[in-house]
């Protein structure tokens, strides 16, 4: 079970090089946080491809409605008719695209992979507080993935009520014709919830208890702050989602009526419970990317992060505010106008800490000696994309405007600028820490080409969606040509689709770079980026137990770049400094 | 040990216990979601609740409350004895707790089958939807607790616990108390609603 204290771990690590772990214990049922991190990475990348392919199929249908999707003529009826996507399947596509992207791609990579890999290394611990629980967390996550994918193969097809699964659509098979698909969707999310919960317990306990000597709270790298707050948000949000999912499952399988109005249930209750989880969830997705960006921007500007404490505090306040804004998803679901105004105000307040973060990133760049490496380019892209997504968010927060743009492509544009923009944080993280994870460098040229193409096609795909939305193009529709007023916009839909395909194709470059570098990349030095944080003091890749005989000792904050009087332009956290250095800056 | 400049010490909490407390906190939130639903339904369907709760057997519910309270006491005594290094009373107490857990589940089984015999099912009314789901999820927690306690008993027979090594017993006991407390709320809210 879960009771390995720091002391036991230290003793364990001292023994580690005596015992040889077999293949299974090293690569499959590993309790080593670094191996678990890598496992989450590959799980997440696989699912990112699946989710991306589902998006491509939707874009085909929207660009060239009711024509056969190239290469898909093998798909059996009634899912597809000689490659043509019927309405029911379109509903399944956007539901599963979003579910897979959120729960099985972005979360496993940003939280599962980087949370596991970075937390012990960056705080100077030998492993997580509960290594066995950690292994369990990955394998329950993997089981959830299998259950989720199994839903594609059951009669009736996979869930088709949107990733928000609004009742009554989701609560009874009579509305969508989906039976076991939606059940498996529910079960899988309950299982992945347990997996994330195990992760959160580990992350919170580890960060509080296992920090190395001298690693005070305000010497933690911002990416660790972001993961800490993310873990707390998950801890507060997931159990409520689990309760709601259990009720929905009971409605479907036991015949209860929590959300079915026919038997005396309350569909609005689902929306409240779901968004109580759902809004914090978007911060769960975006906070780690913000943390990654802060670290990457500081390293490659060769400057301390601007306003370290303000950065940490703004993440805390974003975390706090995310609990009192969920109603902004329900302005049009029937809500007391006074309550609506309260949700509108609280939502707008979130713009304040978000703006603080943005200006601090800009302040970090200001006057720095900027190095445009692949991780840096992706980090910069994340900032700019986040600004666009944040600004379009303010439009929707104000109820009068939202009434006009609700459920249009303006929303689709907005949330892709925020949640799909996270992939830039993801690419920044992978390219930045790849040398530490796998001991080899990724190819910079290939990385830059991939970045440029992704950045261009991302904007060409998602920016025009704003125009579609303002012109009234509804989201979640199967065939825009069925609406006369949308027919003149078809050219723009086709433009978006072509851009989306090119965006998808560009990702091949990333996968090629990743696979090639895994085996043939240049061997990485211990600290290739000349960064300060602790993980760069361990070998690349770090051995089991991370630190050899002695745990590292931390002497100052993580962002001491270009410190006057220091010869190098960086000062690792493990290097004592003669000049008085204030903690954290 | 030598202290480098700017390096400070800070307090450490006991890691395993902290993990258990965080887990218990998440359990409170899980039931919190269910209790919130209860509150909404109760205000929406006042008559349903007033009418349907009379179908429940207050005596059996009260007996089960006493059973769980006793089991909490016995598991607490078990922890107290292992803290003083006494393993025999630990085994006894764990055994009694497991037994009481079983008694609770058996009584619950008779309650459920009694309802089914009277044609009362989860879909009968909103009250019974809530009743079956909340007691069902609580029952699963009791079952999980019985399994965890049995593992502790097994380990106790293997001689794994001592006055300095009992954190797993303590964690399991904390969990068992939580399961008990949830029932303490469920009983009046479901059986005694006026
Ligand atoms: C390759 C890039 C992507 C493309 C081309 C794309 C495309 C689409 C399309 C066409 C829709 C359906 C819109 C509708 O019919 O209403 C959609 C929905 C959605 N996408 Fe993406 N997407 C991409 C990446 C992502 C990523 C990375 C995420 C999340 C991390 C994401 C999250 C969502 C969500 C939450 C929905 C809403 C689903 C619903 O309405 O229930 N997408 N996307
Ligand atoms: Cu929201």
Integer Cα distance of A502 and A455 in angstroms:
11
Q: How far is CA A189 from the centre of its chain?
A: 16
Number of domains into which chain B is organized: 1
What's the ipTM? 0.91
H/E segment holding residue A428 = helix A422-438
Integer Cα distance of A120 and B153 in angstroms:
34
* Closest C-alpha to A274, from A291, A260, A259, A261: A259
- Vertex A127 angle, CA A138 and A203, to 5°: 60
The count of residues in chain A is 585
Q: Could you write out the three-class secondary structure of A76-145?
A: CCCCCECCECCHHHHHHHHHHHHHHHHHHHHHHHHHHHHHHHHHHHHHCCCCCCCHHHHHHHHHHHHHHH
Residues 6+ apart with CB under 8 A from A29: A135, A139
From the list A6, A209, A213, which residue is nearest B18 (CB)?
A209
Q: Which residues of B touch A254 (CB under 8 A)?
A: 122-123, 132
Using the Cβ of A268 and the Cβ atoms of chain B, whether some distance falls under 8 Å is answered with: no
Integer Cα distance of A376 and B49 in angstroms:
60
Q: How far is CA A137 from the centre of its chain?
A: 17
Neighbour-count burial of A19, counting CB atoms closer than 10 A to its CB (0-12 exposed, 13-18 middle, 19+ buried): exposed
Task: Say whether A240 and B33 touch across the interface (CB within 8 A).
Answer: yes
* Cα A516 to averaged position of ligand 1 atoms, centre (Å): 29
| Band of residue B175 on the pLDDT scale cut at 50, 70, 90 | very high
- Which residue carries 């009771």 as its tokens? A3
Does position B9 have pLDDT exceeding 60, yes or no?
no
User: Measuring CA to CA, how many Å separate B51 from each of A257, A261, B34, B117, B125?
Assistant: 18, 20, 21, 19, 10
User: Measuring CA to CA, how many Å separate A301 from each of A62, A370, B85?
Assistant: 42, 4, 59
Q: Which residues of A touch B40 (CB under 8 A)?
A: 266, 269
- Vertex B45 angle, CA B44 and B49, to 5°: 140
User: What per-residue string of b and e applies to A133-169 under the rule 16 or more CB within 10 Å gives b?
Assistant: bbbbbbebbbebbebbbebeeeebbbbbbbbbbbbbb
The distance of B194 to chain A (nearest Cα, Å) reads: 20
Q: Chain B residue with minimal CA distance to A579?
A: B5
Task: Say whether A250 and B133 touch across the interface (CB within 8 A).
Answer: yes
Q: How do residues B74-112 score in pLDDT, each as one tens digit?
A: 999 999 999 999 999 999 999 999 999 999 999 999 999
Judge if the beta carbon of residue A94 lies within 6 A of ligand 1: yes
The pLDDT assigned to B194 comes to 63
The pLDDT assigned to B74 comes to 97
User: What is the token pair recorded at B155?
Assistant: 């380990």
The distance of B168 to chain A (nearest Cα, Å) reads: 7
A166: helix, strand or coil: coil
Contact A401, A407 (CB under 8 A): no
The pLDDT assigned to B11 comes to 44
Query: How many Cβ atoms sit within 10 Å of the Cβ of residue A326?
Result: 22
User: What is the token pair recorded at B88?
Assistant: 């025999």
Integer Cα distance of A127 and B96 in angstroms:
38
The pLDDT assigned to B1 comes to 33
Using the Cβ of A210 and the Cβ atoms of chain B, whether some distance falls under 8 Å is answered with: yes
Q: Which residues of A touch B8 (CB under 8 A)?
A: 214, 216
Q: Chain B residue with minimal CA distance to A268?
A: B40
Residue B22 within any structural domain of the chain: no
Using the Cβ of A213 and the Cβ atoms of chain B, whether some distance falls under 8 Å is answered with: yes
Q: Any idea of the CA torsion for A249, A252, A255, A261, to the nearest 10 degrees? A: 100
| Band of residue B156 on the pLDDT scale cut at 50, 70, 90 | very high
Least confident of A29-33, A112-116, B140-144, B190-194: B190-194
Q: Which DSSP category does A507 fall into?
A: H
Integer Cα distance of A43 and B106 in angstroms:
42
Residue B119 within any structural domain of the chain: yes
Residue B164 within any structural domain of the chain: yes
A34-537 under CATH 1.20.210.10, yes or no: yes
In order along its 585 residues, chain A shows pLDDT tens digits of: 333 344 444 444 444 444 567 888 888 899 999 999 999 999 999 999 999 999 999 999 999 999 999 999 999 988 999 999 999 999 999 999 999 999 999 999 999 999 999 999 999 999 999 999 999 999 999 999 999 999 999 999 999 999 999 998 999 888 888 999 999 999 999 999 999 999 999 999 999 999 999 999 999 999 999 999 999 999 999 999 999 999 999 999 999 989 998 878 899 999 999 999 999 999 999 999 999 999 999 999 999 999 999 999 999 999 999 888 888 888 878 778 888 888 888 888 888 999 999 999 999 999 999 999 999 999 999 999 999 998 888 888 788 888 889 899 999 999 999 999 999 999 999 999 999 999 999 999 999 999 999 999 999 999 999 999 999 999 999 999 999 999 999 999 999 999 999 999 999 999 999 999 999 999 999 999 999 999 999 999 999 999 988 899 999 999 999 988 888 899 999 998 755 545 444
Q: How far is CA A175 from the centre of its chain?
A: 31
Mean per-residue pLDDT, B146-155? 97
Mutate which of A97, A282, A419, A427 for ligand 1? The one with the most ligand atoms within 8 Å of its CB, which is A97
DSSP sequence for chain B? ----TT--------HHHHHHHHHHHHHHHHHHHHHHHHHHHHHH-HHHHHHHGGGS-HHHHHHHHHHHHHHHHHHHHHHHHHHTT-HHHHHHHHHHHHHHHHHHHHHHHHHHHHHHHTT--TTS-HHHHHHHHHHHHHHHHHHHHHHHHHHHHHHHHTT--BTTB-HHHHHHHHHHHHHHHHHHHHIIIIIS--
Half-sphere exposure for A147 (CA within 13 Å, toward CB): 19
* Cα A320 to averaged position of ligand 2 atoms, centre (Å): 13
Q: How do residues B114-128 score in pLDDT, each as one tens digit?
A: 999 999 999 988 899
Judge if the beta carbon of residue A420 lies within 6 A of ligand 1: yes
Q: Which DSSP category does A215 fall into?
A: -
Integer Cα distance of B38 and A2 in angstroms:
33
- Which residue carries 């009554």 as its tokens? A168
Contact A172, A255 (CB under 8 A): no
Judge if the beta carbon of residue A476 lies within 6 A of ligand 1: yes
Please give the residue range of the domain that contains residue B39.
31-192
Q: Where are the domains of chain A?
A: 34-537
The ligand with the least distance to the CA atom of A185 is 1
Q: What's the pTM?
A: 0.93
Using the Cβ of A265 and the Cβ atoms of chain B, whether some distance falls under 8 Å is answered with: yes
- Which residue carries 């099912």 as its tokens? B121
Task: Say whether A257 and B123 touch across the interface (CB within 8 A).
Answer: yes
**Rounded to a whole number, what is the largest CA-CA distance in chain A?**
75
Query: How many Cβ atoms sit within 10 Å of the Cβ of residue A17?
Result: 11
Residue B75 within any structural domain of the chain: yes
Integer Cα distance of A84 and A72 in angstroms:
8
* Closest C-alpha to A229, from A157, A150, A299, A283: A283
From the list A3, A133, A214, which residue is nearest B7 (CB)?
A214
Judge if the beta carbon of residue A97 lies within 6 A of ligand 1: yes
Integer Cα distance of A219 and A585 in angstroms:
9
Judge if the beta carbon of residue A163 lies within 6 A of ligand 1: yes
Query: How many Cβ atoms sit within 10 Å of the Cβ of residue A185?
Result: 27
Using the Cβ of A238 and the Cβ atoms of chain B, whether some distance falls under 8 Å is answered with: yes
CATH (domain of B74): 1.20.120.80
Residues 6+ apart with CB under 8 A from A271: A164, A166, A329, A330, A333
The phi, psi pair for A478, rounded to 5°, reads -85, -45
Residue B141 within any structural domain of the chain: yes
Residue B14 within any structural domain of the chain: no
Using the Cβ of A200 and the Cβ atoms of chain B, whether some distance falls under 8 Å is answered with: yes
User: What is the token pair recorded at A261?
Assistant: 């109005």
Q: What percent of chain B has pLDDT over 90?
A: 81
Would you say the C-alpha torsion A493, A496, A502, A503 has a positive or negative sign?
negative
Query: How many Cβ atoms sit within 10 Å of the Cβ of residue A243?
Result: 25
* Closest C-alpha to A286, from A411, A110, A129, A133: A110
* Cα A329 to averaged position of ligand 2 atoms, centre (Å): 6
Task: Say whether B129 and A273 touch across the interface (CB within 8 A).
Answer: no
Integer Cα distance of B30 and A308 in angstroms:
35
Protein residue with its CA nearest to atom 42 in ligand 1: A420
Q: Which DSSP category does A114 fall into?
A: H
Integer Cα distance of B132 and A149 in angstroms:
30
The pLDDT assigned to A19 comes to 56
Residues 6+ apart with CB under 8 A from A429: A109, A110, A114, A289, A292, A296, A375
Q: Which DSSP category does A521 fall into?
A: S
The pLDDT assigned to A20 comes to 67
- Which residue carries 């920016």 as its tokens? A463
Give the residue ranges of DSSP H helices in A178-255.
180-209, 222-253
Judge if the beta carbon of residue A413 lies within 6 A of ligand 1: no
Atom of ligand 1 nearest to the CA of A503: 1
Query: How many Cβ atoms sit within 10 Å of the Cβ of residue B147?
Result: 12
Integer Cα distance of A262 and B106 in angstroms:
34
Best of A8, A234, A264 to disrupt the B interface by mutation (most B CBs within 10 Å)?
A: A264
The pLDDT assigned to A330 comes to 83
Protein residue with its CA nearest to atom 11 in ligand 1: A94
């Amino acid at each position: 079970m879960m009771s390995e204290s720091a002391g036991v771990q230290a003793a364990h690590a001292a023994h580690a090089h005596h015992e040889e772990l077999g293949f299974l214990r090293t690569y499959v049922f590993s309790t080593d946080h670094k191996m678990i991190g890598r496992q989450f990475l590959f799980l997440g990348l696989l699912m990112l491809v699946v989710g991306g392919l589902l998006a491509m199929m939707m874009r085909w249908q929207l660009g060239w409605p009711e024509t056969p999707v190239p290469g898909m003529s093998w798909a059996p009826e009634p899912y597809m008719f000689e490659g043509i996507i019927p309405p029911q399947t379109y509903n399944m596509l956007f539901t599963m695209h979003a579910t897979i992207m959120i729960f099985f791609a972005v979360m496993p990579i940003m939280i599962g992979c980087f949370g596991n890999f970075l937390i012990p290394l960056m705080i100077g611990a030998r492993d997580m507080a509960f290594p066995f629980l950690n292994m369990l967390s990955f394998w329950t996550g993997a089981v959830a993935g299998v259950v989720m994918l199994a839903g594609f193969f059951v009669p009736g097809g996979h869930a088709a009520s949107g990733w928000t699964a609004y009742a009554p659509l989701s609560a009874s098979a009579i509305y969508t014709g989906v039976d076991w698909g939606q059940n498996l969707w529910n079960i899988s999310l309950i299982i992945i919830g347990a997996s994330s919960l195990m992760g959160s317990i580990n992350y919170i306990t580890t960060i509080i208890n296992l920090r190395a000597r001298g690693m005070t709270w305000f010497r933690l790298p911002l990416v660790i702050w972001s993961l800490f707050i993310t873990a707390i948000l998950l801890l507060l949000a997931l159990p409520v989602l689990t309760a709601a999912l259990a009720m929905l499952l009971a409605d479907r399988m036991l015949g209860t009526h929590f959300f079915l109005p026919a038997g005396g249930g309350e569909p609005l209750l689902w929306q409240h419970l779901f968004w109580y989880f759902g809004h914090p969830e978007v911060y769960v997705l975006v906070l780690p990317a913000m943390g990654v960006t802060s670290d990457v921007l500081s390293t490659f500007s060769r400057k301390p992060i601007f306003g370290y404490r303000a950065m940490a505090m703004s993440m805390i306040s974003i975390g706090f505010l995310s609990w009192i804004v969920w109603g902004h998803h329900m302005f049009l679901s029937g809500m007391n106008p006074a309550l609506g105004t309260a949700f509108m105000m609280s939502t707008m307040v979130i713009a304040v800490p978000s703006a603080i973060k943005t200006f601090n990133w800009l302040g970090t760049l200001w006057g720095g000696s900027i190095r445009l490496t692949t991780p840096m380019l992706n980090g910069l892209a994340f900032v700019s994309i986040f600004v666009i997504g944040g600004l379009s968010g303010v439009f929707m927060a104000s109820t009068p405007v939202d009434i006009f743009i609700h459920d249009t492509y303006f929303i689709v544009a907005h949330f892709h600028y925020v949640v799909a923009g996270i992939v830039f944080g993801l690419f920044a993280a992978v390219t930045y820490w790849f040398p530490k994870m796998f001991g080899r460098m990724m190819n910079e040229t290939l990385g830059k080409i991939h970045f440029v193409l992704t950045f261009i096609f991302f904007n060409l795909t998602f920016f025009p969606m704003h125009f579609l939305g303002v012109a009234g193009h509804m989201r979640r529709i199967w065939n825009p040509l069925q609406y006369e007023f949308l027919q003149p916009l078809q050219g723009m839909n086709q433009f978006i689709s072509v851009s989306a395909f090119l965006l998808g194709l560009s990702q091949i470059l990333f996968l090629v770079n990743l696979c090639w570098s895994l085996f043939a990349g240049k061997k990485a030095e211990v600290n290739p980026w000349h960064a300060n944080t602790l993980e760069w003091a361990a070998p690349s890749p770090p051995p089991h137990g991370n630190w050899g005989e002695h745990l590292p000792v931390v002497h100052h904050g993580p962002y001491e770049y270009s410190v006057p009087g220091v010869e190098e332009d960086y000062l690792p956290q493990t290097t004592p400094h003669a000049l008085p250095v204030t903690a954290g800056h | 040990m030598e202290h480098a400049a700017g390096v400070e010490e800070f307090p450490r909490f006991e890691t395993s216990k902290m993990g258990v407390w965080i887990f218990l906190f998440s359990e409170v939130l899980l039931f919190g979601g269910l209790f919130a639903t209860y509150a909404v339904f109760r205000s929406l369907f006042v008559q349903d609740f007033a009418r349907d709760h009379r179908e429940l057997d207050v005596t059996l519910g009260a007996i089960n409350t006493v059973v769980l309270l006793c089991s909490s006491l016995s598991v607490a005594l078990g922890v107290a004895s292992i803290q003083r290094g006494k393993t025999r009373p630990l085994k006894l107490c764990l055994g009694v707790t497991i037994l009481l857990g079983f008694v609770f589940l058996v009584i619950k089984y008779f309650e459920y089958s009694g309802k089914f015999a009277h044609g009362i099912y989860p879909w009968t009314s909103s009250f019974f939807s809530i009743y079956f789901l909340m007691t069902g999820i609580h029952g699963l927690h009791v079952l999980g607790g019985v399994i965890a306690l049995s593992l502790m008993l097994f380990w106790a027979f293997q001689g794994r616990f001592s006055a300095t090594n009992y954190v797993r017993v303590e964690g399991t006991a904390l969990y068992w108390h939580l399961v008990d407390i949830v029932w303490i709320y469920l009983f009046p809210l479901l059986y005694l609603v006026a």
